[in-house]
Amino acid sequence: MPETLLDPTTLGDLLRVASAVDYHRWEEQIRRTGGCADPIHLTGWTLTKDKTTGETLHHYSTESEPGGRLRLACGNRRASRCPACAWTYAGDTYHLIRAGLAGDDRRDIPATVRDHPRVFATLTAPSFGRVHNRPDHGTCRCGTRHAPDAPELGAALDPDTYDYAGAVLFNNHAGQLWQRLANRLRREIAARAGLTQRELKERARLSYGKVAEFQKRGAVHFHAVIRIDGPDGPNTPPPAWATVDLLTDAIRATAAHSYTSVSVPAAADQPARTFRWGTQLDIRPVKAFGDGSDITEQAVASYVAKYATKAAENTGTLDRRIGELSELDRHGVPDHTRRLITACRDLDALYPDRRLWAWAHMLGFRGHFSSKSRHYSTTLGVLRQARADYRAAQEHAALGLDDNREPDTVLVLADWQYAGHGHTPGESALAATIARDIQTNRETAREALRDQIDLEGIAA
């Protein structure tokens, strides 16, 4: 049951749901969604028949379900909106990133990809003014040694001189800045190998997987796994000249090159700006198992997966589009974040093609939070389809349908309609409890697997 004290309305609704005759079926539906916080409701039916004999192999209708509805997971990647679905998304992202680092036989990515030059690079935003921080040594510029969770961290020391307009315009153009870096990086690699760009395509390929992260100050930066493959991707070995040192040097040169910039024209009271990456560029080689100083494949995949389910919520902004500024008062949005959102509103008319107000809840950022190049590894779509096929096979076996039946002899008819989404207050409280139970079971199973691996290692 929920650990927090429930209000009378929620408690009454919870008791209504829990005492219903079809509660166990409702609970089963919610468990199948992983404890989704905002499930999609469908009504309809499906009919499976044998074309040859006309025999009905299976018939399902939502008429017999609780409320006459089937509940499906919402699939939202944001942990702030649906922790259960975000957990699934993070897991998929983890496997996608790790497959490009360690290989995956099921996805035709050989383990030899570990021998390819690969680094984990962090590209940050430039400075828009001094903010409260926690330096490794000493105190903040304000003279205070802030606690790790201090609310003022990331806020401007002098809001009147902080470039809020520049900060949101940088966020808004960050995706283009990344694309320019990716394009220029190929040139820099070719130059260091003594090749033309056409010759580089015939001998090597650049692959990457990246994720965006918001700093407390509200500026977006990117973490990227960057790898050099042979001409056909991870299945072919890179040329002998392709090394981690060459890749690292090429990335540094690319980030500093004048081509790797985005220009924003002047408008009204706003000056013309040219955005480049910040000076805090971190590039580290990725090790298969680590040596105490370098980051490992698992650590990198876990880090990327973690931030793939987050947005700008750590700055105190909302996790949905903002209708009017008065909403910020109701949700207690911090002053620094409020000023960034206000800057989006004020700049929207000056740069209408950038849709800054539509993305004000993201502090201007409008790119993909996680993305990858075509040949980096598998895709989220492939991983989701594999999961769907597995569940379909389970359902098939549970229904006793003949796996040896020819596909052309089976006719499937279906009619589905959208019927809403979400939970009642009592259902929401119960679903949260179910989600916590599922998470606890997963963590217990993970710990048991780790213990087993440790014991096998000792025995060996």
Are the beta carbons of 85 and 34 closer than 8 angstroms? yes
pLDDT value for 132: 94
- Pair of tokens at residue 146: 């802030």
Q: How far apart are CA 42 and CA 425, in angstroms?
A: 20
Q: Is there a domain that residue 309 lies in?
A: yes
Mean pLDDT estimate for the chain: 90
What value does the mean pLDDT take over residues 190-204? Answer: 95
pLDDT category, 128, cuts 50, 70, 90?
very high
Judgement on whether residues 231 and 306 belong to the same structural domain of the protein: yes
When mean pLDDT is compared across 120-129, 145-154, 362-371, 407-416, the lowest value belongs to 407-416
pLDDT category, 288, cuts 50, 70, 90?
confident
Sort residue 363 into left (φ over 0), alpha (ψ -120 to 50) or beta.
Answer: left
Cα dihedral across residues 233, 118, 237, 242: positive or negative: positive
Q: What is the 3-state secondary structure (H, E, C) of 287-337?
A: ECCCCCCCEEHHHHHHHHHHHHCCCCHHHCCCCCCCCCCHHHHHCCCCHHH
Judgement on whether residues 174 and 283 belong to the same structural domain of the protein: yes
Q: What is the CA radius of gyration of the chain?
A: 26
What value does the mean pLDDT take over residues 87-95? Answer: 91
Q: Is there a domain that residue 391 lies in?
A: yes
Higher pLDDT, 292 or 43: 43
Give burial (CB, 10 Å; 0-12/13-18/19+) of 451: exposed
pTM of the shown model:
0.86
Judgement on whether residues 65 and 180 belong to the same structural domain of the protein: no
What value does the mean pLDDT take over residues 19-41? Answer: 94
- Residue 212, pLDDT above cutoff 90: yes
What value does the mean pLDDT take over residues 63-90? Answer: 92
Q: How far apart are CA 243 and CA 236, in angstroms?
A: 15
Q: Is there a domain that residue 432 lies in?
A: yes
pLDDT value for 411: 85
Residue 53 sits at φ, ψ, to 5 deg, of -100, -15
pLDDT category, 445, cuts 50, 70, 90?
confident
pLDDT value for 105: 81
What value does the mean pLDDT take over residues 2-15? Answer: 81
The secondary structure of 160-196 as a DSSP string is TTS-HHHHHHHHHHHHHHHHHHHHHHHHHHHHHHT--
Which residues sit opposite 441 in a β-bridge? none
Judgement on whether residues 372 and 388 belong to the same structural domain of the protein: no
Judgement on whether residues 338 and 402 belong to the same structural domain of the protein: no
pLDDT value for 349: 95
Judgement on whether residues 359 and 389 belong to the same structural domain of the protein: no
- Residue 432, pLDDT above cutoff 80: yes
Single out the residue of 203, 229, 196 nearest to residue 117, CA to CA: 229
- Residue 365, pLDDT above cutoff 90: yes
What value does the mean pLDDT take over residues 274-299? Answer: 85
Q: Name the range with the highest mean pLDDT among 139-153, 215-229, 388-402.
A: 215-229
- Residue 274, pLDDT above cutoff 80: yes
Q: Is there a domain that residue 365 lies in?
A: yes
Q: Is there a domain that residue 1 lies in?
A: no
Terminal CA-to-CA distance of the chain, rounded, Å? Answer: 44
pLDDT value for 2: 44
Give burial (CB, 10 Å; 0-12/13-18/19+) of 60: middle
When mean pLDDT is compared across 84-88, 236-240, 439-443, the lowest value belongs to 439-443
Judgement on whether residues 273 and 343 belong to the same structural domain of the protein: yes
Judgement on whether residues 287 and 242 belong to the same structural domain of the protein: yes
pLDDT value for 272: 96
What value does the mean pLDDT take over residues 277-281? Answer: 94
- Pair of tokens at residue 41: 């409701």
Chain centre distance of CA 419: 28
Q: Is there a domain that residue 3 lies in?
A: no
pLDDT value for 137: 84
Are the beta carbons of 58 and 398 closer than 8 angstroms? no
Range of the domain at 94: 83-128+163-378
pLDDT category, 403, cuts 50, 70, 90?
low
pLDDT category, 364, cuts 50, 70, 90?
very high
- Residue 1, pLDDT above cutoff 70: no
Q: Of 344, 378, 412, which marks where a domain is finished?
A: 378
C-alpha distances (whole Å) from 31 to each of 13, 38, 212, 427 are 19, 13, 31, 12
Are the beta carbons of 357 and 344 closer than 8 angstroms? yes
For the segment 296-355, what is each residue's pLDDT rounded down to a tens digit?
888 899 989 988 888 888 898 998 899 999 999 999 999 999 999 999 999 999 999 999
When mean pLDDT is compared across 69-73, 389-393, 426-430, the lowest value belongs to 389-393
Q: How far apart are CA 143 and CA 157, in angstroms?
A: 11
Q: Is there a domain that residue 339 lies in?
A: yes
Are the beta carbons of 62 and 22 closer than 8 angstroms? no
Judgement on whether residues 39 and 119 belong to the same structural domain of the protein: no
Which residues sit opposite 370 in a β-bridge? 211
pLDDT category, 293, cuts 50, 70, 90?
low
Unique residue bearing structure tokens 């959102």: 341
Judgement on whether residues 372 and 442 belong to the same structural domain of the protein: no
pLDDT value for 457: 55
Q: How many CA atoms lie within 13 A of 60 on its CB side?
A: 17
Judgement on whether residues 228 and 174 belong to the same structural domain of the protein: yes
Chain centre distance of CA 318: 17
What is the percent of the chain where pLDDT is above 90? 68
**In 19-112, which ranges are continuous DSSP H helix?**
23-32, 83-102
What value does the mean pLDDT take over residues 383-388? Answer: 85
- Residue 197, pLDDT above cutoff 80: yes
Q: How far apart are CA 107 and CA 377, in angstroms?
A: 8
What value does the mean pLDDT take over residues 411-423? Answer: 93
Judgement on whether residues 392 and 294 belong to the same structural domain of the protein: no
Domain count, the chain: 2
- Pair of tokens at residue 52: 């040859």
Q: Of 378, 393, 413, which marks where a domain is finished?
A: 378
- Residue 290, pLDDT above cutoff 70: no
Q: Is there a domain that residue 100 lies in?
A: yes
Q: Of 378, 395, 421, which marks where a domain is finished?
A: 378
